[in-house]
Structure 1
Amino acid sequence: MILAAGRGERMRPLTDERPKPLLEVQGKPLMQWPMEALAASGFAQLVVNTDWLGEQIATRFGPRHGACNIVYSHEGRDFGGALETAGGIVRALPLLGDVFWVLAGDVFAPDFAFSQAAVDDFVGGGRLAHLWLVPNPPHHPRGDFGISPDGLALNDAPAKHTFSTIGLYRAALFAPPYCDIPAGNPGGVRAPLAPLLRAAMADGLVSAELYQGAWTDVGTPERLAALNAEKRRPARGGPGGR
């Protein structure tokens, strides 16, 4: 699932007439980078949620783009606004399998490998989520979560890293006792993801690892301009931290 429902307030005026995931980075829409990386690794069934100017995303990519088959969850059309991350995932849950990737369509991580080996390890481990963390960028110096010596994600730790937005999840994380929103979220409940993750972390059911490849949260026009000032690069499957 690619999260593409954000308003992109900090990117205004660039996002006044174009949704943030369609802003171009090095010659292609920002969200197209992970789409192509996922498809190159064999994950070609995509769910994309939308809100602000979401019809532009559906028009740009349609139901099929390259090797990707795309189903849209139009939160803005159905509920008048975005449902936040957990609310959006639960809304799309009937379209997802028992285990699935989730990532934000406004993060640039061109070398991240969405590998089948990572999925197999996750399935075999029995946890509810596996998160990729990154070194803290200047705009988020305190980080989000720690990592224990045995690879568990920690709410509290001496050193914290920033959540990259890339993760593997089981559908069970979005059901009781961690989430009480019915699958499909028929009521359009808005709910953040962090409380679910923190509750599952407290039960030792979330693992994590540090990814140190290229990664940018494209949250301001200045960060977008800096990326576009770099030499263009082809999408490729570098190490995903494993």
Structure 2
Amino acid sequence: MTYCVGLLLDAGILLLSDTRTNAGLDNISTYRKMFLFENPGERAIGIMTAGSLSVTQTTLARLGDANDDPDSDRSILRAPTMLQVAEIVGSTLSDVTAEVSAKMERMSQGASASMIVAGQRKGGPMRMFLVYPEGNFIEATADTPFLQIGEHKYGKPILDRVIEVDTSLADAEKAVLLSMDSTLRSNLSVGMPLDMAIIERDAFRISRTRRIEATDEGFKQMSHSWSEALRNAFQEIDPI
């Protein structure tokens, strides 16, 4: 399993993903779930994945091949709008899901995946989409400025309470890291290291990336401070 979260804010886009992949109780591996594409000064796109590794890797490989083919009309680096980027990703994901599922059905197994696609191209607004295995998608809005895939239920409460479209990137970074911390504590199928990326509004490039290892002192201190704050708040609330 995995946990990925994306925020679409006035100030920019923030993406965070874990890297754990489980293929059984005794087969735990680390795979990148975040993939970044850019033509600096023209566009920046981030894709995060959850679900079947065979589906997600094949989908990303086909998207990469299309980017490298100057004659392809399915390149996300040449699509004229972010909506068409989402449509290309959705169509590719749907095709791969159908192909892999057909093979897996022979062994009475299934395979599916979902993706978060976010970015901005010059001349267009920032946009973020959650793409389903069937290829259809929903879009983040000012009323719902974050999207999640994977094991999302443990990390959702803090986002519901804290995140607004005008939240600063600094506060948003803190919120998504605490959202991830809550998920790490409650679900063993989500694990370190973490990948984070920021695309600032109208930068048209990947503004910042960061990999957070399990030994990261800043993340450990944030986790400890959050636990202490919750315990203190709990003690201060009177019973009804």
Q: Give the structure-2-normalised TM-score.
A: 0.30
Structure 1 or 2, whichever has the larger Rg, is 2
Which is richer in strand?
2
Instruction: Point out the structure with the larger helix share.
Output: 2
